[in-house]
Amino acid sequence: MDKFTTITGIAAPMPLVNIDTDMIIPKQFLKTIKRSGLGVNLFDEMRYTLDGKEIPDFVLNQPAYRESQIIVAGDNFGCGSSREHAPWALLDFGIRSVISTSFADIFYNNCFKNGILPIILPQDAVGYLMDDAKKGANARITVDLENQTVSASDGKSFAFEVDAFKKHCLLNGLDDIGLTMEKVSAIDTFEKQNAAARPWA
C-alpha cells in the first residue's frame, strides 16, 4: 500500500449528498478480476452517456479537474453496497483523499485498507473547501496527515481527527497484511502448537 503523508492537489467539488458505491462503481464492473483498471469506470453512469461518450458537465470530465487527487463531497459519502471496488476505482483514478461531513462505515474502513484518506470535517469547513475547490485547477488543497490538517489554497487551515492506529498505518504505508506479517513468529508458534494439539486440522 502507498504511504500517505502530505498531498497538495486539485480537489473536485461534488456537492451531492449520499453518493453511494453504486454510483462510484456500478455493478457491471464487478465481474473484473483486477483491483486496478477501474479508474476509467469511476462514476461511470454519471460520467458517460449510454454510448460511452463523456458527459462534459460532469466534474471529472472538465479540463480543470481531470487530474484531481481529492474529492470534496456532500454528506454520507460511500453509502450502499460494501463492494471494495469503490475505493479501488477511486484510487485507480488517482484520488487519495475524500473530504466530507460523514462517510458510510464500511466504505470508510475500506478506504484505509487501500491507501485513501477519508477526512471528516464540520459543515462549515467542508463548505469553505467546497468553494475553494470550485475555483478550479489553480486552487490546490493540501492534506497533511502527520499534522492532521487540511489547508485551502489561501492557507486557511482546518484540523481533523483520525484514529491513531489507522494514521500510523497510512503514514507508513502499512497494510493489514504487512502488520500481521510483523507477528509472523506468533503465527509460526501457533501453527506448531496447533499441529501438536489438533493434528487433523
Partner 1 sequence: MTAPKSAVLRTLYDKIWDDHVVHTSEDGTCLLYIDRHLVHEVTSPQAFEGLRMTGRKVRAPEKTIAVPDHNVPTTEGRETHIDNEESRIQVDALDKNAREFGVVYYPVTDIRQGIVHIVGPEQGWTLPGMTVVCGDSHTATHGAFGSLAHGIGTSEVEHVLATQTLIQKKSKNMKVEITGKLLPGVTAKDITLAVIGKTGTAGGTGYVIEYCGEAIRELSMEGRMTVCNMAIEGGARAGLIAPDEKTFAYCMGRPHAPKGAKWEAAVSYWKTLFTDEGAHFDKIITIKGEDIAPVVTWGTSPEDVLPITATVPFAADFQGGKVEAAQRSIDYMGLTPGMKLTDVKVDAVFIGSCTNGRIEDLRAAAGILKGRKLAPGVRGMVVPGSGLVRLQAEEEGLAQIFTDAGFEWRLAGCSMCLGMNPDQLAPGERCAATSNRNFEGRMGRGGRTHLMSPVMAAAAAITGHLTDIRDIMAETA
Binding site for partner 1 (CB under 8 A): 30-36, 82, 84, 88, 110, 113-114, 165, 176-177, 180-181, 183-184, 186-187, 190-191, 194, 198-201
Nearer to partner 1, 159 or 187 (CB): 187
Cα 64 from Cα 61, distance rounded (Å)? 8
Phi-psi region of 175 (alpha: psi -120 to 50; beta: other; left: phi over 0): beta
In the complex, least distance from residue 199 CB atom to partner 1, rounded to whole angstroms? 6
114's CB contacts (< 8 A; 6+ apart) are: 1, 84, 87, 88, 91
Cα 153 from Cα 138, distance rounded (Å)? 8
In the complex, least distance from residue 160 CB atom to partner 1, rounded to whole angstroms? 21
Nearer to partner 1, 57 or 198 (CB): 198
Nearer to partner 1, 52 or 56 (CB): 52
Nearer to partner 1, 112 or 128 (CB): 112
In the complex, least distance from residue 51 CB atom to partner 1, rounded to whole angstroms? 20
Nearer to partner 1, 6 or 194 (CB): 194
Q: What is the residue type of 45? A: E
* Residue indicated by cell numbers 453496497: 81
In the complex, least distance from residue 91 CB atom to partner 1, rounded to whole angstroms? 12
Residue 183's SS3 state is: coil
Q: Which cell numbers hold the place of 196?
A: 501438536
DSSP state of 67: T
In the complex, least distance from residue 32 CB atom to partner 1, rounded to whole angstroms? 8
